[in-house]
């Protein structure tokens, strides 16, 4: 059976029989453009259901008519998972109206939130209840819980609390044929068959649409202690991390690495962002401790700094003396991606490597790219969990348009090196549409075969986010 176009009047009339008129939304640029401006999508209809039953009606109608569906959350994804560029025009199914926090269960340390709730709103509700929901991303004011789950989002606190997968105990979802899976379990142990929850988390809308989730809450730290230290090299940063684990244990919430270029870009295009050092260090680490009552964070941070000095790992450092100074440290770190966008990257990479191979990757990648010309590199990210954002830019004063013919070559160089060093071509951003070809090239063939089998078993019509993760 041929797939229909969602713009077809007959299909719209059929869908209108099952969902209220107020579910239909104008097709605006917000639904069709990705944050980096690399893709422009198409749509036949935009539909914003208010309940899981309405989501089910939309999906069932699309299933029966073979109309493709693109699930849409906050629109902050960086790999094109929310942007479909090829015909037939899809239904964009937005979760924007499903934004309620259904329950907060203090005795169970659980919050139940709908997929359209923003990450920041869930953080705030948790805080108001005296808890911490620890997922933290630069886009937290816009990104939504459903999208966080669909991409298995990471962020700065993975070192302590894990990815979104680790923060979720139950899911409500609509499967590709319109069936509702009532999986909002609050159980921490449930060994009853295959784990559908973990199958849907990270599936990027290719296996179903997440509509709500039961999420873990944690005690709020009694206090935070943050420091930024200049280090001699990425290898020195790893040695400092190892010592930090010995000194602070599980109180380490984040351990970020920042290269000089990140500070230079901020100074160039975002001069209002307060930077920690007058002279930009080649490498620095931003460390965050979330402390239990009675713990002295300053003392632990000073012990770590003194160790770094004695071992020749550290040359300078600052410990935040107020919440305002801590916020300044993190404000600089969180604005680096925006500075990157304003500068304009030729090629952007979200990769992960075994911790021991990180310094090897950085040294080899810098040398191989330098051999191609005077390109600039901004390497930063979540050192504690091995996740680097490795972005390549034109020489100072030049536009990226003149260098875009190098994009494929640069991506191949980075991915080949990551693959040789036992890493992953996608750490936390997902595959989407942009990385589908790279996944086919670098993933284990048996894994690829299993992915395709699962995809077509659950979605035999191929209507769920076609072209994302799995090739059309």
69 within some domain: yes
SS3 for 85? coil
In which domain, by residue range, is 56 found? 9-96
Going by pLDDT thresholds of 50, 70 and 90, the confidence category of residue 69 is: very high
Task: Check: CB of residue 197 under 8 Å from CB of residue 171.
Answer: yes
Asked if residue 390 and residue 244 are part of one domain, the reply reads: yes
Going by pLDDT thresholds of 50, 70 and 90, the confidence category of residue 58 is: very high
Quote the number of domains for the chain. 3
452 within some domain: no
Going by pLDDT thresholds of 50, 70 and 90, the confidence category of residue 5 is: confident
272 within some domain: yes
Going by pLDDT thresholds of 50, 70 and 90, the confidence category of residue 3 is: low
Task: Check: CB of residue 126 under 8 Å from CB of residue 219.
Answer: no
Place of tokens 């975002």: 270
Token pair for residue 313?
């790992």
Stretch 274-300: mean pLDDT, rounded? 95
Asked if residue 252 and residue 170 are part of one domain, the reply reads: no
Confidence at residue 21, expressed as pLDDT on a 0 to 100 scale: 95
Q: Is the peptide bond before 88 cis (omega within 30 degrees of 0)?
A: yes
pLDDT tens per residue across span 81-100:
999 998 899 999 999 999 99
Give the integer Cα–Cα distance in Å for 30 and 74.
Answer: 10
Stretch 330-349: mean pLDDT, rounded? 96
State which H helix or E strand residue 364 sits in.
Answer: helix 358-370
323 within some domain: yes
Q: Cα separations (Å) of 1 from 154, 201, 303, 461, 464?
A: 39, 30, 68, 9, 16
413 has pLDDT over 90: yes
Asked if residue 356 and residue 310 are part of one domain, the reply reads: yes
Residues 6 or more apart from 138 whose CB is under 8 A from it? 334, 335, 337, 338
SS3 for 221? coil
From first CA to last CA, the distance across the chain in angstroms is: 16
Asked if residue 301 and residue 193 are part of one domain, the reply reads: no
pLDDT tens per residue across span 136-186:
998 999 999 999 999 999 999 999 999 999 999 999 999 999 999 999 999
Asked if residue 170 and residue 304 are part of one domain, the reply reads: no
Q: What percent of the chain has pLDDT over 70?
A: 99
Asked if residue 229 and residue 201 are part of one domain, the reply reads: no
316 within some domain: yes
379 has pLDDT over 70: yes
22 within some domain: yes
Confidence at residue 2, expressed as pLDDT on a 0 to 100 scale: 54
CA neighbours within 13 Å on the CB side: how many for 83? 23
1 has pLDDT over 50: no
Last residue of a domain, one of 373, 404, 420: 420
172 within some domain: yes
CATH number for position 344: 3.30.70.2190
DSSP class of residue 404 equals: G
Stretch 105-111: mean pLDDT, rounded? 98
């Amino acid at each position: 059976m041929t797939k229909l176009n969602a713009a077809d009047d007959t299909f719209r009339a059929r869908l209108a029989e099952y969902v209220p008129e107020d579910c239909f939304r104008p097709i605006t640029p917000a639904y069709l453009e990705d944050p980096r401006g690399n893709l422009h999508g198409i749509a036949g209809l935009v539909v914003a259901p208010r309940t899981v039953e309405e989501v089910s009606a939309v999906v069932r109608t699309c299933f029966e008519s073979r109309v493709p569906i693109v699930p849409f959350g906050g629109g902050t994804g960086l790999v094109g998972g929310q942007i479909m560029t090829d015909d037939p025009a899809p239904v964009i199914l937005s979760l924007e109206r499903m934004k309620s926090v259904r329950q907060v269960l203090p005795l169970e340390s659980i919050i139940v939130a709908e997929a359209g709730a923003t990450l920041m709103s869930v953080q705030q509700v948790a805080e108001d209840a005296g808890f911490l929901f620890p997922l933290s991303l630069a886009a937290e004011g816009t990104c939504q819980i459903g999208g966080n789950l669909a991409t298995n989002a990471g962020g700065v606190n993975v070192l302590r609390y894990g990815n979104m997968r680790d923060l979720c105990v139950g899911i409500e979802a609509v499967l590709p044929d319109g069936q509702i899976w009532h999986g909002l379990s609050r159980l921490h142990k449930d060994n009853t068959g295959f784990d559908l929850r973990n199958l849907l988390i990270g599936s990027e809308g290719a296996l179903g649409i997440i509509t709500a989730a039961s999420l873990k809450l944690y005690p709020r730290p009694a206090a935070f202690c943050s420091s930024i230290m200049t280090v001699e090299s990425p290898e020195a940063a790893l040695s400092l991390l190892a010592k930090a684990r010995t000194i602070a244990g599980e109180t380490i919430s984040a351990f970020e690495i920042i290269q000089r270029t990140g500070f230079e870009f901020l100074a160039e295009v975002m001069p209002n962002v307060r930077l920690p050092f007058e002279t930009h260090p080649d490498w620095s680490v931003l460390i965050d401790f979330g402390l239990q009552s009675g713990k002295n964070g300053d003392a632990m941070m000073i012990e770590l700094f003194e160790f770094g000095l004695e071992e020749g790992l550290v040359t300078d450092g600052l410990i935040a003396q107020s919440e305002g100074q801590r916020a300044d440290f993190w404000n600089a770190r969180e604005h680096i991606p925006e500075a990157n966008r304003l500068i304009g990257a030729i090629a952007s990479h979200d990769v992960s490597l075994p911790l021991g191979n990180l310094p090897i990757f950085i040294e080899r990648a810098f040398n191989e790219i330098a051999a191609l010309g005077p390109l600039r590199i901004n390497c930063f990210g979540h050192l504690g969990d091995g996740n680097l954002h490795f972005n390549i830019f034109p020489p100072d004063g030049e536009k990226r348009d003149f260098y875009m013919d190098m994009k494929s070559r640069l991506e191949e160089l980075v991915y080949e090196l990551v693959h040789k060093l036992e890493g992953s071509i996608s750490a936390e951003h997902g595959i989407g549409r942009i990385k589908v070809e790279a996944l086919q090239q670098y993933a284990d063939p048996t894994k690829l075969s299993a992915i395709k089998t699962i995809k077509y078993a659950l979605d035999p019509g191929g209507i769920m986010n076609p072209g994302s993760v799995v090739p059309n």
